[in-house]
């Protein structure tokens, strides 16, 4: 979080002053985790901060959560836009509650990239219902009766899913499917947010963005609520960032269509290898890793391979941020989108002679080819999802 918004302690304290229920997530980290949760949000859900930070927002979903609503949120993340939707969430103790979920992206003012998402949650007030043909025994509505039965039958399952295990999430999805086919367990009638609740969500989003913008000016890492299109600077979609974040190899993504062919993505492993922070890498040409004893011919070979749209492998002397040198093997390969056009070049860099790198017994060459393949799949999948009218 700090690398993007400069969220030092006094900025966190300012966020803590907001009475609203909200979270901030980071789409650049694998799994798109929560990196900040307000006090009101923690009180509303019953979770402790340590149980929420680092988790994906799906831990608040359960058997009764509409999969269609979840897909609408995911689509908004992929398209990097606002979304406001009624959603059934679950507290830590398994009890369901309706919220108006309003999410919006936060953009880097310098290059227009999405760096975070803010998600405000406004509880929806349940209006009293008239007793009628839908009432059960002793005037209790069947929907409410079903809700109590749901808590007894599925409450433990809800608590299990909080571990964020994919296997357990699969069980919940299966339960959700069963609920869709078994009307006897339909537990929550959809709730609609009132105009007052919608205005409350809009106001909360506006106030939070204003505060983040104000403090970003003080930290020097400017953010804004709307994308600022700057010529010569590219950005990746959130969906592509998430996909690339799952790849554990050391690599960078280079945009050959921009002036000086800058790096537009750097993996966590690459940052760990070189000692640089992400904001110190993005927007720079790969040659920034070269130094006094780096052979200039290797840089020319890399540039020529990109210009000729061909793959190449070079052995080069690079320098970390702390000025220490290391020999690395760099494999450069073109990456095409769904239309077959070259969208990027991927540069997989591995330190020569480092036996501790994850490889499961594979040779350095095979590990590099594996990383290249994973990046190509991520880029093509992202461009296919974006549709023919949108470019990477």
Q: Domains of the chain, with CATH numbers?
A: 2-224 (3.30.450.20), 238-386 (3.30.450.20)
Residue 81 binned pLDDT confidence (cut-offs 50, 70, 90): confident
Would you say residue 129 has pLDDT above 50? no
| Arithmetic mean of pLDDT over the chain | 77
Mean pLDDT, residues 357-384: 80
Burial of 44 from C-beta contacts in 10 A (0-12 / 13-18 / 19+): middle
C-alpha dihedral, 59 to 63 to 68 to 74, nearest 10°:
10
**Per-residue pLDDT, 140:** 38
Nearest CA among 121, 79, 108 for reference residue 226? 108
Min mean pLDDT across 25-39, 124-138, 217-231 is at 124-138
Maximum mean pLDDT: which of 185-199, 284-298, 347-361: 284-298
Mean pLDDT, residues 102-118: 81
**Cβ atoms 30, 242 nearer than 8 A:** yes
Residue 37 binned pLDDT confidence (cut-offs 50, 70, 90): very high
Mean pLDDT, residues 198-204: 93
- For residues 187 and 81, the model is more confident at 81
Q: List C-alpha distances in Å: 218 to 5, 164, 221, 295, 362.
A: 11, 36, 8, 41, 47
What pTM did the predictor assign?
A: 0.51
**Per-residue pLDDT, 172:** 39
């Amino acid at each position: 979080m700090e690398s993007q918004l400069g969220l030092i302690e006094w900025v966190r304290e300012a966020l803590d002053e907001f009475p609203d229920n909200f979270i901030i997530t980071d789409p650049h980290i694998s799994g798109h985790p929560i990196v900040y949760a307000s006090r009101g949000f923690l009180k509303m859900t019953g979770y402790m901060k340590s149980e929420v930070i680092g988790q994906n927002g799906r831990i608040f979903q359960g058997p009764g959560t509409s999969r269609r609503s979840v897909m609408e949120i995911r689509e908004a993340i992929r398209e990097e836009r606002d979304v406001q939707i009624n959603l059934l969430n679950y507290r830590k103790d398994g009890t369901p509650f309706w919220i108006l979920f309003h999410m919006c992206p936060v953009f880097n003012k310098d290059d227009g990239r999405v760096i975070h998402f803010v998600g405000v949650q406004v509880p929806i007030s349940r209006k009293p219902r008239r007793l009628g043909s839908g009432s059960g025994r002793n005037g209790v509505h069947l929907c409410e009766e079903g809700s109590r039965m749901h808590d007894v039958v599925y409450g433990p399952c809800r608590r299990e899913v909080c571990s964020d295990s994919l296997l357990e999430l699969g069980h919940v999805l299966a339960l959700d499917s069963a609920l869709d086919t078994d009307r006897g367990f339909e537990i929550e009638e959809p709730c609609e947010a009132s105009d007052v609740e919608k205005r409350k969500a809009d106001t909360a989003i506006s106030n939070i963005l204003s505060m983040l913008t104000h403090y970003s000016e003080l930290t020097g890492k400017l953010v804004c609520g709307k994308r600022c299109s700057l010529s010569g600077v590219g950005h990746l979609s959130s969906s592509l960032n998430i996909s690339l974040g799952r790849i554990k190899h050391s690599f960078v993504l280079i945009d050959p269509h921009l002036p000086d062919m800058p790096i537009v993505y750097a993996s966590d492993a690459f940052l760990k290898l070189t000692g640089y922070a992400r904001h110190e890498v993005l927007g720079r040409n790969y040659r920034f890793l070269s130094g006094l004893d780096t052979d200039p011919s290797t840089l020319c070979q890399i540039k020529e391979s990109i210009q000729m749209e061909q793959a190449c492998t070079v052995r080069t002397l690079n320098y970390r941020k702390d000025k220490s040198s290391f020999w690395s093997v760099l494999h450069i390969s073109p990456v095409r989108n769904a239309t077959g056009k070259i969208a990027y070049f991927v540069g997989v860099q591995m330190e020569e002679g480092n036996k501790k790198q994850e490889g499961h017994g594979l040779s350095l060459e095979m590990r590099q080819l594996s990383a290249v393949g994973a990046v190509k799949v991520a880029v093509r999948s992202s461009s296919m999802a974006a549709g023919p009218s949108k470019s990477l």
